[in-house]
Amino acid sequence: DAGITQSPRHKVTETGTPVTLRCHQTENHRYMYWYRQDPGHGLRLIHYSYGVKDTDKGEVSDGYSVSRSKTEDFLLTLESATSSQTSVYFCAIRDTPENSPLHFGNGTRLTVT
């Protein structure tokens, strides 16, 4: 299994509070991704990174920011959590060759009350 660790695995927070989710990889892969999974929507890309300090937006980036200061860590921050951000968040990594598959972490279940 790809070495991907997401933390925390579960979090409950209140509306308006900041939240940071962490993804840590031990594979030295260049590409890292944050997806959210919601019923009926499959997985939707929030942000991704193609190198240290290099990031780009996905299709549902509003309300989220990311940072990647080291190859192994990719942080997702909700500056002011809202109930619509209640979801399961998955981190994924990908090796450099084109068409390489994504490898996923086990997810973080976030509940915003």
Partner 1 sequence: GNSVTQMEGPVTLSEEAFLTINCTYTATGYPSLFWYVQYPGEGLQLLLKATKADDKGSNKGFEATYRKETTSFHLEKGSVQVSDSAVYFCALSSPSGGYNKLIFGAGTRLAVHP
89 binds partner 1 (CB under 8 A): no
Cis-peptide, bond into residue 8, ω within 30° of zero: yes
Q: Are 22 and 75 in contact (CB under 8 A)?
A: yes
Site for partner 1 in 51-80 (CB under 8 A): 56, 58-59
Q: Which is nearer to partner 1, 14 or 62 (CB)?
A: 62
Taking the complex as a whole, how short is the minimal distance between the CB of residue 53 and partner 1, in angstroms?
16
Q: Which is nearer to partner 1, 54 or 79 (CB)?
A: 54
Q: Which is nearer to partner 1, 106 or 111 (CB)?
A: 106
104 binds partner 1 (CB under 8 A): yes
Q: Which of 24, 43, 73, 95 binds partner 1 (CB under 8 A)?
A: 43
In order, the DSSP letters of the chain are ---EEEE-SEEEE-TT--EEEEEEESS--SEEEEEEEETTTEEEEEEEEEETTEEEE-TT-TTEEEEEEETTEEEEEESS--GGG-EEEEEEEE-SSTTPPPEE---EEEEE-
User: Which residues contact partner 1 (rule: CB under 8 A)?
Assistant: 4, 31, 33, 40-45, 48, 50, 56, 58-59, 90, 92, 98-99, 101-107
